[in-house]
Amino acid sequence: MSYNYENVVNSIREYRRVAYANVSVEATTATASVLAASAPDLDALQHSMDGFATLSKHCPMTPLLWIQYAHDTEVLMEGLMMLESSTEGGSEKYCQEEWWLLQMESKKSALESSTGILELGLAEFPGCAALQLYYLESVADYVYQSEGLRLFNARNGAIGMEVDDIQANRNKLSSAFECALKSVGKGSHVNEGAIVSEIYRLNGSFLLFLLSAEKKKGVGANEGNEYEIIINQISTLFIEWSESPMGEGSNDEMMQDMEHIWDEACSIILSSCLGDEQQKKRKYDLAQEKATLWANIDVARKKTSSLTNILSSYENEIDVAMSNEGIVLPRQSLFAQQQDQSNSNTNDNVIGNYLQSLRRNNSKWVQVLLSDTNSFLLGLGGADTSRAFLKATKFLQSIYQGTMKKGESFDNTERSSIDDHVVKYKETVICSLYERAISECPTVESVWVSYMTFLRAEWSLLRSNGGQSQREQELSSSLRSTSHRAVRNCPYSCNLFEIRMTTLGMISASNLEPDDITAVVKECSELGFLNHNRKALLHLRLVAILVVTRKLMSRISLGTTTSSNNGHGKDYDDTEEMNVVPTSNRKSSSNGTVCYELLNLTTMEEVQDLIEDIRDMYDEADSYLHGSKTDNDQAATDSLRVAFWKHRALNEAYTLCPIFMALKKAFDNDDENEKDNDVLADMEAIQSFEKLVKSQKPSHPDSWREYIQYTRASHIYLIGRGSNSTQSKPDSIGGVVSTVRTTRGLYNRAMSCVRKACRTTTAPIDKKELLMERGIDGTMFQRDYDAALLDLCREYLAFERNWGSEESFSHAQSLVRSKLANWEPAEATITNTLNTREDLHGKRKLEANGSAFHYENGPSKITENYDENDENENDKRSKRVKVKTNLKQPKMTDGVHRVRIGKLDYPAHPYTIHVSKLSKDIQDMDLVDAFRHEFGAVVHARILREKLTGKGGHHFHGESKCAGLIQFEERSSVEDALRRDGEFKVGEQPVKIQRSHLPAVGVVPPGMHRVNPKGEGKVSKRNKLKKSSVDGMELEVEGKRDDGKIKADGDQKEIHDVASTSSPSSLSFDVLSFKPRAMRQKPKISLDSSNKK
């Protein structure tokens, strides 16, 4: 790069320190003698201005630098003009009044230049409240100087400013207030309420000045509508002021300011009344109007108070994050209420008090303008601040999306204060909060990506709903400017450059020029931040080609179709049903019918130019790869060439070549030339595929698969239409068999160019680490080599089985066998056979009657039935029988997915996935909301966190590990989620999805630690055994009489029944129960009286 940001900023600070070493901010308002003694160093200021110009040329400046740049410009121009006036004959030639006039003229010219610089700054950072306030005060000060000059000239009979110029200045200030309040006064700057209140207060002062200006015109209170218009503007300002949520006590202070402004307005109106009766009547009307207005203000303040409480939690998090990073703006001390400046040179007869209130108070800006140690408003916001802002925007977006879904059915009585606020301002408050985040964190990529995603979604929604064209144009303009600001502030981000190109293609589809897209790639190269990253620059070139290709397909689709619904053509990204029913048999309904027509000549020429542009862009990308080739990493160079030629070959084969042949057919009616053009067009695709398979050694199987797939399908539109064959080209009939032979030849070449399985010489390519995964998706990364080789071998065998002979099929088997000699199916493949034993680990769904689903004869029975029905398994497995044994049986793991942890493999849980690369602020329910909507019902989801140790550590959540587990109800949900690996986004960030060997639900939920059911524990079994032995002895003793003989059968049966149906705890106690016993076991006393001794 041609500049160093830190060096330029430090040099600007040094020059400014020298320039203002002995000067206060108000030095330029002094007299000539004072000015000569305490003027700023203009040479140093000129050097600082050069630094500002250099910085603004290369990159966007921060809000603080824009303010200082505008102030230095104002001081330098004013100082030069006053210095020139003082040296022309000396300051003695001017009287005090003339010197004051010179000051006002110099100030006015200087303010005109500084406000132009501030407007450039607001174009970059419209969400910075301090920048908005400084701009408004500068414009108001310009109005003050202009009005002062006009009044001075009017008093002295000189020709001053024209009326049109005065009205233009007032209109400019009014528009500036409107834009500023729209950007910072709708609830996006709650904790910057002090600055927002200053804007409302200044707006009220300006309205008072307009009211006093009408009075000076001599307009009576009963004449015209000017008074009513201004009073209505004041009332509207008060309502908006009360509806704006502001913290830091600003909502409490506003009533005093409102009372002051209203009283001053009433005083001006009443003083213009003619006669006491008119004055009394007007006073009564104003009192009634005030009562109604104050009642509305009270209602609005109550709602705003509730709204402020909701937003304050997010605002406080933002303030804490900014304070931790040392970039918080000292709002209370910086923008404290200051007394109006007094100017001894000001003649009260010339300039009234209301005009004086428009003059900028420079004393409150001293810390911003002169201090060189500030860290606020310098764009130093980092990860914590950006994360806090994104959390707030995500909350508002959820409210906004909820209200949009409910629409008109959303009852007003059900709305909360935040709902009413979002419904009223819609996406404006969200955009304002994004702009505020950008003013604090302009170099954080995630903020820009989230903002662009939101704007693009709004644009697409408005376009699909057929919204207002004016609103669509506003969004298009906002998307264009925001994408440009994003790449200027984050020139290191390949993702933002890609978003800019795709955004330009989206909003400018009808009038897009390829030069507009290539200019983005050129800008990226000139900035130099990505020049070391060849992958990123190649990716951007291919994205540019993709955008232009979309334009090509859109022009053809819209130009060749007409829909019966709206009479417009269908775009290329619309859906169209397959016409499987003959036209004569279709129903007469024309709902959604697509009619086809020929392209007009103008569109055909445009399409031909686009094809040439696309091929030129491919040639430029190829030249870049050759020019940036290095010998340090040949493998990386080969992978880039494979990605490039794969992209070009597929685009040529399925888009450019067919369109090119159709164009040649339309332009040339000669049959012979038509055949030659077909061959020529086919050769473009064939050559691209040849370079693809030769760009890497050994070739990747997927490259050959794409080549063969095109060759097998190309005969449908490439076979000659004549019946005569030539020596170089078969006829229509012979072309079918020729395609079979050509395909077989390509399969043989492919098998000789690929390596054997399980011989990985380089580390496997992780598609998540490649920048080229975005936009181009599956065409920009390579699959696992062995998996691709298996697909190639399987397709080769299927081809020979269907279209080959016994000899060719045997030859194919031998080639495949040699390539897969080292392949181990158990480790290299994933069997899709369902294993019912996995069902035992997951949550089971309930049957219709509410009972839990279960297996009748246990796991062993399941295994036996499963093996009997599996006819494709090994014979030994089919004869597996149930064997009763006490030995532990190994689990059947055939077909079970494995998860490798370290050097060990674990069986994957069939219903759980592992999600990584999550954001730190993602919570458990965020996972549930994201995955349940896309993949089905979720049993449980949890974020993996660091464990907190020490006293009280278990009461708090540990820091997120940026990973989590999600457990589904269905197996299919797991498979669907795995297919979206690297594509599915959680919180605007792509995540990595893998299988998990752990369930998402804890193995033992809290409070349910492993204990055996009552009566099945070790101690219970021991007590039960002792009890059974004692009871048996008692029964034996009771069965004997005193003479040792057994009792009668009846008596024995009765004793047995009593012993079996009763327990010692259930027997009633009497005196005999406590009879002393000897050490020897005594017979148990029966309750039957016949057994008592």
- Given this model, what pLDDT does residue 612 score? 93
Q: pLDDT digits over 972-1021, tens only?
A: 899 889 988 888 888 888 899 999 988 877 544 444 444 566 677 777 77
CA distances from 319 to 125, 195, 323 (A): 19, 15, 6
pLDDT at 1083: 60
Within a domain: 421: yes
Average pLDDT over residues 473-494: 92
Q: Which domain holds residue 281?
A: 204-313
Q: Are 392 and 433 in contact (CB under 8 A)?
A: yes
pLDDT at 678: 56
Say what the pLDDT of residue 253 is.
76
In a domain, 307, yes or no: yes
Q: Confidence band (pLDDT; 50, 70, 90) for 731?
A: low
Q: What tokens does 169 get?
A: 């200045």
pLDDT of the residue at 348: 41
Band (pLDDT 50/70/90 cuts) for residue 581 is: low
Confidence class of residue 675 from pLDDT cuts 50, 70 and 90?
low
Give the pLDDT confidence score for residue 351 in this predicted structure: 43
Is 164 in the same domain as 136?
yes
Are residues 251 and 349 located together in one domain of the fold?
A: no
Flag whether 500 is in a domain. yes
Q: Say whether both 432 and 298 belong to one domain.
A: no
pLDDT band at 965 (very low <50, low <70, confident <90, very high): very high
pLDDT score of 585: 56
Residues shown for the chain = 1093
Residue 199 in any domain: the answer is: no
Phi, psi of 595 (to 5 degrees): -105, 135
pLDDT digits (tens, 9 = 90+) for 364-415: 888 788 877 788 888 889 999 999 999 999 999 999 988 888 776 666 666 7
**What was the pLDDT predicted at 1032?**
66
Phi then psi for residue 631, to 5 deg, are -90, 0
Helix axes 671-694, 732-753, angle to 10 degrees: 10
Segment 737-776, tens digit of pLDDT: 888 888 999 999 999 998 887 655 444 444 444 444 444 4
Does residue 215 sit in the same domain as residue 133? no
Give the model confidence (pLDDT) of 327-352 as tens digits.
988 766 665 544 444 343 443 433 46
Which tens digit of pLDDT belongs to each residue from 495-540?
Answer: 999 999 999 999 887 788 899 999 999 999 988 888 888 889 999 9
Is residue 561 pLDDT above 60, yes or no?
Answer: yes
- Has residue 21 got a pLDDT over 80? yes
What residues contact 760, with CB distance under 8 A and at least 6 apart? 785, 786
Cα–chain-centroid distance for residue 989?
7
Average pLDDT, the chain: 77
Q: Tell me, what's the pLDDT at 34? A: 43
> CA triplet 929, 931, 933: central angle to 5 degrees?
70
Q: Confirm if 924 and 961 have CB atoms less than 8 A apart.
A: no
What is the structure's pLDDT at 249? Answer: 65
pLDDT tens digits, one per residue of 134-149: 999 999 999 988 888 8
Indicate the range of 290-304, 866-880, 974-988 predicted with least confidence: 866-880
Of 486, 507, 523, the domain-final residue: 486
Same domain, 937 and 1022: no
pLDDT at residue 194, rounded to an integer: 87
Q: What is the pLDDT of residue 1?
A: 42
Q: What is the predicted pLDDT for the residue at 343?
A: 40
Q: What is the three-class DSSP state of 170?
A: helix
Give the residue-averaged pLDDT of 590-617.
Answer: 85
**Of 174-178, 314-318, 464-468, 1022-1026, which gets the smallest average pLDDT?**
464-468
Give residue 832's pLDDT.
44
Looking at the structure, tell me whether residues 479 and 518 fall in a common domain: no
3-state secondary structure of 986: coil
Give me 641's structure tokens. Answer: 């060439």
At 669 the pLDDT is: 62
Dist. CA 500–CA 512, nearest whole Å: 13
Helices (H) and strands (E) in the chain, counts: 37, 8
Residue 802 lies in a domain: no
The tens digit of pLDDT for each residue in 449-474 reads: 999 999 999 998 888 877 667 888 88
Q: Indicate whether 263 pLDDT > 50.
A: yes
Q: Is residue 540 part of a domain?
A: yes
Task: Indicate which CATH number applies to the domain containing 927.
Answer: 3.30.70.330
Check whether residue 249 and residue 384 sit in a common domain: no
| Residue 750, burial from CB neighbour count under 10 angstroms (0-12, 13-18, 19+) | buried
Query: Which among 63, 602, 101, 151 is positioned nearest to 350, based on CA atoms?
Result: 151
Q: Where are the alpha helices (DSSP H) in 870-959?
A: 875-878, 924-935
Neighbours of 472 (CB within 10 A): 16
Amino acid (1-letter code) at residue 274: L
Collapsed DSSP state (helix, strand, coil) of residue 945: strand
Do 408 and 465 share a domain, yes or no? yes
Any domain includes 281 = yes
Structure confidence at residue 277 (pLDDT): 84
Q: 117 and 28 share a domain? A: yes
My answer on whether 386 and 454 are in the same domain is: yes
- Prior bond to 698 cis, omega within 30? yes
332 C-beta neighbours (distance < 10 Å), count: 10
How confident is the model at residue 193, as a pLDDT? 85
628 pLDDT band (50/70/90 cuts)? Answer: confident
- Residue 943: helix, strand or coil by DSSP? strand
Residue 65, class by beta-carbon neighbours within 10 Å (0-12 exposed, 13-18 middle, 19+ buried)?
A: buried
Query: Are both 82 and 58 inside the same structural domain?
Result: yes
Taking only the tens place, the pLDDT of each residue in 89-118 is 555 555 666 777 778 888 888 899 999 999
Of the residues 995, 1010, 1035, which one is the last residue of a structural domain? 995
In the prediction, which pLDDT does 668 show?
72
Query: In the predicted model, what is the mean pLDDT of residues 258-282?
Result: 86
Q: How many domains does the chain have?
A: 7
Residues 344 and 419 in one domain: no
pLDDT score, position 914: 93
In a domain, 669, yes or no: no
Compute the average pLDDT of residues 160-174.
77
In which band, very low, low, confident or very high, does the pLDDT at 438 lie, cut at 50, 70 and 90? Answer: very high
